[in-house]
Structure 1
Amino acid sequence: MHDILFVNARIIDTEAGLASDLVDVRISGGRIAEIGPKLDCPAATRIDANGRFMLAGLIDCHVHPFLADANISRLAEVPPTLMSARAVRILERMLQRGFTSVRDAAGADWGIRQAVEEGLIKGPRLFIAGRALSQTGGHGDFRSRTDDHDVCHCQHALAFTSRIADGIDDVRRAVREELRKGADQIKIMVSGGASSPHDPLERNQYSPSEISVIVEEAERRGTYVMAHAYGADAIRVALECGVRTIEHGNMIDQATAELAAAKGAYLVPTLTTYEVLAETASESSWSEAMLAKLALVREAGLESIRICRAAGVKLGFGTDLLGDSFDEQSREFLIRSQVESPAQILDSATRVNAEIVGQVDQLGVIKSGAIADLLLLDRNPLEYLSVLQDQGEHIAVIVKDGAIIKNRL
C-alpha cells in the first residue's frame, strides 16, 4: 500500500464546527500518519486538494442492505443468492456516497462483512447485528395471522431479518447464537413498528427480565444491545435494563430523554425512511393500519430530535431505508437540518457514530493514528450540506482504509 500525501486541504472539525487553515495530510499503512504544513514524502502519491474540504468518512448507524423490499413480508420469496446480489449493489453505492462504514441493523451476516474486508465487494466496512431478536407477535414476527406454524428455519431473505425468542432461557440462547455467528452487536425489538403488520406501535415488547438477560449476555462478550423502540415507555424500560442505543425513538418524551442522557445512551434517528415510505405508499402495498402507524412516527420525528438535543442526549445518524430507496440515504442530512446545525448533523454521522460502533479515535475523525477514511469535498459542508447530495457527485476523493476509492482530481 503506497503512501498518499494530500496537500492544501482544509480539515473539517465536526465537534468544533470549524474548518482548518490549509494543511497537508500524509497517509501510510492505511492510517493517517501525519498532519501539518508543507509535509514532504517524495515516494507518496500526491494529491493537491487545492483548498477543498476534508471530512472524515461518513458512518450510517442504521442500514438494511439485505432488506431490498419496502414490503418486508415479500422477502419470503427472495432466495439468499438474489438477496446478496442486491446487497452488493446497495453497499457499493453507499461507498460512492461517502459512507465508508455502516452498522447493519439486521439482515447481514459475517459472510458479506468478510467479502467487504477481502475486497470482493467495494463497500463500506460493516458492523453487523445478525438476526434481530423479537418476541412472538413482535416487530420481527412477520407471519400472517392465519399461519399457525412454528417459525421455520427457511433459507430466504426474510429469515435472515429476525428470529423469535421468548422467555429467559430462549433469549439467552438466541443472543449467544447470534454472537457465535459473528454479530458485532445485538438488535432487539422492544416496541411495535410501522413495517410489521399486526403489532400496535405504542405497546411494549419484551419484559424487563428478558431485556436484562439480553444485555447481560451481550456485555459478557464485550458488546452491547441496540433496541428498536418508538414509545417513551418502551424506551424507558430499555434504558433501565442497560440498552446502549435506541433506534428511531420518535415518540420519546422529556423525562425519558433526560434518563437517556443520564445513562450516556445514544439515540439514532432515522427520518428519511418515513418520508420515502410515505411518498411510495402505493408501491409498497402497505395496509391502512401500517400507513397509520407510519404517519404517527413521521409526524413525531423532528420533535424527538429537538427534545433529545435539549436534554443532552448523544444523537447518532441513521437512515433505515428499505427496497429501492437507498439512493435517498444522504437526504437524511437535509431533513435533520430543519432542527439541527450542519456541524451537529455531521458530528452525528462521523465522531458520534464512531463512538457507537466502538471505534473512538479510529473512525469518524481526521487525526494522527486514525484509520484513513476520508472525503475531499468541493464545498464546505458546514455551510453547504448539499455538497453531500447527488450520489457523491460533489465528492472529489474518497479514501477508505488508506486506499483511494475515487479520485477525479
Structure 2
Amino acid sequence: MILFENARVFDGVNADCAEGMSLLIENDVIREVSDRPIKADNAQRIDLAGKTLMPGLIDLHIHAYFSDLNAKLVDSRDAPYRTAHAVRKLGHALDCGFTSVRDIGGGDYPLAAAIHDKLIRAPRFFYAGKVLSMTGGHVDYRLPGERHHTQGYCSCGSMNWGGVVVDGVDECIKAAREELRRGAHCIKIVASGGVMSPSDPMWMNQFREDETRAIVNECVERRTYVSAHCHPVSAIRRSVDFGVRCIEHATLIDAETAQFVAERGVYVVPTMSVIFVTMDVGAALGMTPDSMGKLKIAADSALEGLQHMRDAGVKMGYGTDLLGPTYDQQCREFEFRRDIFTPLELLRQATSIGAEILMQEDKLGCIKPGAFADLIVVDGDPLRDIGLLAANGEKLDLIMRAGEIVKDRLS
C-alpha cells in the first residue's frame, strides 16, 4: 500500500482543489480519499507537501507504430523496426505523465499484451486495431501508378501495417468484426481524405451511408463505438448522421457544424500538434509538396475550428497524432491550445473528458475510491500555469501508473 499525504487534489473536473488531502493506494486502485489522516500502518508514506495530485494524462490520438512520416516506408521496415519505435514512443509518453493512450490506427493485440505483461514501459493502452478505409481512401497508401493492393486479411500477403481496405457492406462488417475479435477497443474509419495519403483530396467524403451504418451497428452490438477521421464539414456531418460517436481532427469545422456536433453529443479529438509541428519539420523529413500543401490548408483553419467548438460547447479530448521522429513533441498540444482554452478546460480535456471518450468514467481521469491509481504529482499549479504539463515531464515529481510508481522525486 502507498499513502499520499498533504496533497492538493485536482479531481479531473472541479476548479476548486481540496487541500491537505490523503489518498490510500492498494494494488492498482485508489482505496480511500479523505480530508483527514488515513490510518494505514503498513503503507509507504509519501508527503506531497501541498503539491498538486491529479489524474494521469490521456492522449486519445496516437499511432505507436508510425515510425516515419512516409506510411509506405513504415510498411517496408516491417514489424521489428515499428515495434522498436513504439517502445521508445510509449516510454516517452509515460515519462511525460500520459498514463493512458488510445492508439487510433495500427496498434494491436501483441503490443497490448507486451504492455500488460510489463515487457515494456508504457501507458495504459487502448487500441482501435487497423483503420478501415475504402479503396482510394485515406489509408490506401498506393500511389496512383500502383495497381494492386495487399491490405486485406490474406495471410500470404504483406498487410498494410495501419489499415485494411474494404468496399461494400459485407466487407465492412467482416473487417469490423475481425478487429473487434482481435481486441480492438473501438473501430476507426476514414470518412474523408487526409494530408498524408497520396490519391485522395482532403475534401473527399469516404464510405457510403450503408457501409458506415453497418460498421456502427457492429460496434453498438459490441458495446463500443466508431471514431471517424474527418477534415471537412461534409464528412463530419455525414459521420454524425450515420451514428459515429467520436470525430478525429475536425480541422475544417465551421460554427454551424460545431453547433450540430454539440447538439448530438458527439465527441471531437482535435490534433493541433501534428499540424503545427509537421508544418515546421515536414519538408525536411521528406513530406511531398502535395502533402505540405494539404497541411497548409489544415493549419490555416485549425485554431479557428477550436474556437468554433469551444463556443458551441463541443466536448473535446486531448490528441496529438504525432508521426515518426516528432513523437517527442507530445506535450506541446497544451501550448497549441492554450490561446483558445483556459487551463481548467485543457485539464478536463486531458483527464475526465478523455475518460468519457474511452468509456472509462469512474476508472480513469478522476480521483475517487475505486478508480485506477493512475496519478501524477505536479510541482506547481497547473490550473494557473498549464505550461507545467508542457515541459516533457520535467515538472512532474511523481508518476504512478496502475498503482506502480514509475517516477519518484519525493520519497
Q: Which residue of 2 aligns with 1:127?
A: 126
> Could you tell me how far 1:156 is from its partner in structure 2?
10
Aligned to 2:391: 390
Contact 1:30–1:372 (8 Å) recurs in 2: yes
Query: If the length of structure 1 is used for normalisation, what is the TM-score?
Result: 0.97
Are 1:41 and 2:34 counterparts?
A: no
Aligned to 1:378: 379
CA–CA distance in structure 2, aligned partners of residues 104 and 240 of structure 1:
25
**C-alpha distance after superposition, 1:98-152 (max 9, x if no partner):** 0000000111101111111111111011111110000111100100111111335
- For residues 141-181 of structure 1, the C-alpha deviation after alignment (integer angstroms, 9 at most, x for no partner) is 10011111133558999712011001111111111111111
Greater displacement, 236-245 / 64-73:
64-73
| 1:169 maps to 2:167 | no
Secondary structure in 2 aligned to 1:18? coil
Instruction: Find the counterpart in structure 2 of residue 100 from structure 1.
Output: 99
Contact kept, 8 Å, 1:79 with 1:155, in 2: the verdict is no
- Taking the aligned partners of 1:150 and 1:196, their CA distance within structure 2 comes to 14
- Partner of residue 21 from structure 2, selected from 16, 20, 23: 23
Bigger mean CA deviation after superposition, 399-408 or 155-164:
155-164
The range that moved more, 228-237 or 294-303, is: 294-303
Q: 2:156 & 2:263 partners in 1: Cα distance?
A: 42
Is 1:66 aligned with 2:65? yes
Answering whether residue 250 of structure 2 is matched by residue 249 of structure 1, we say: yes
Q: Tell me the CA shift for residue 282 of structure 1.
A: 2.3
Q: Could you list the per-position Cα deviations for residues 200-225 of structure 1 after superposition, in whole angstroms to 9, with x for gaps in the alignment? A: 10111111111111101111111100
* Contact kept? 2:318, 2:350, Cα under 8 Å: yes
Which piece of structure 1 moves more, 387-396 or 358-367?
387-396
Q: How far apart are residue 283 of structure 1 and its match?
A: 2.4
Aligned to 2:334: 333
Return the offset for 1:389. Answer: 2.7
The answer as to whether partners of 1:75 and 1:156 remain within 8 angstroms in 2 is: no
Partner residue of 1:151? 150
Determine the structure 1 residue equivalent to 2:8.
10
* d(CA) in 2 for partners of 1:4, 1:341: 33
RMSD, aligned α-carbons: 1.5
Q: Within 5 A, what are the aligned runs for 1:9-408?
A: 9-36=7-34, 37-152=36-151, 159-408=160-409
Q: 2:124 and 2:156 mapped to 1: Cα distance?
A: 25
Secondary structure of 2:101's aligned partner: strand
What is the distance in 2 between the residues matched to 1:89 and 1:287? 26
- Distance, in Å, in 2 between the alignment partners of 1:368 and 1:333 is 28
After superposition, the Cα gap between the structure-2 partners of 1:370 and 1:155, relative to the gap in structure 1 and judged at 3 Å, is farther
Q: Deviations over 1:282-327 (max 9, x none)?
A: 2232222211110111121111111111111111110000001111
CA contact (8 A) 2:283 2:292 kept: no
- Separation in structure 1 between the aligned mates of residue 292 and residue 286 of structure 2, nearest angstrom: 10
List runs of 5+ in structure 1 lacking aligned partners.
Answer: none
**Is the Cα–Cα contact under 8 Å of residues 266 and 315 in structure 2 kept in the other structure?**
yes
CA distance in 2 between counterparts of 1:287 and 1:402 reads 45
- How far does the alpha carbon of each residue in 1:232-253 deviate from its partner, in whole angstroms, 9 at most, with x for none? 0100000001000000001112
Does the 8 Å CA contact 2:150/2:159 hold for their aligned counterparts?
A: no
Residues 344-396 of structure 1, C-alpha deviations (whole Å, 9 max, x = no match): 01101100000111100100001111111100110110111121133211111
- 1:31-58 CA distance string (max 9 Å, x none): 1111112222120011010111011010
Could you say what secondary structure the match of 1:314 adopts?
coil
* Runs of 4+ with >4 A deviation: 152-158
Partner SS for 2:283: helix
Distance, in Å, in 2 between the alignment partners of 1:155 and 1:323 is 28
Q: 1:354 to 1:128 in 2, by over 3 A?
A: same
Give yes or no for contact 2:66–2:324 (8 Å, CA) kept in 1.
yes
- State the Cα distance separating 1:29 from its structure 2 match: 2.5
Amino acid at match of 1:187: K
Q: Distance in 1 between matches of 2:301 and 2:100?
A: 28
Q: Please say which of residues 273-282 and 353-362 is displaced more in the overlay.
A: 273-282
Deviation at 1:77, TM superposition (A): 1.8
Percent identity, aligned pairs only, is 39
Question: For the residues of structure 2 that align with 1:337 and 1:154, how far apart are their CA atoms?
Answer: 46
SS across alignment from 2:400 = strand
How far did 1:64 drift?
0.7
Aligned mates of 1:154, 1:146 — CA distance in 2: 25
Unaligned segments of structure 2, at least 5 residues: none
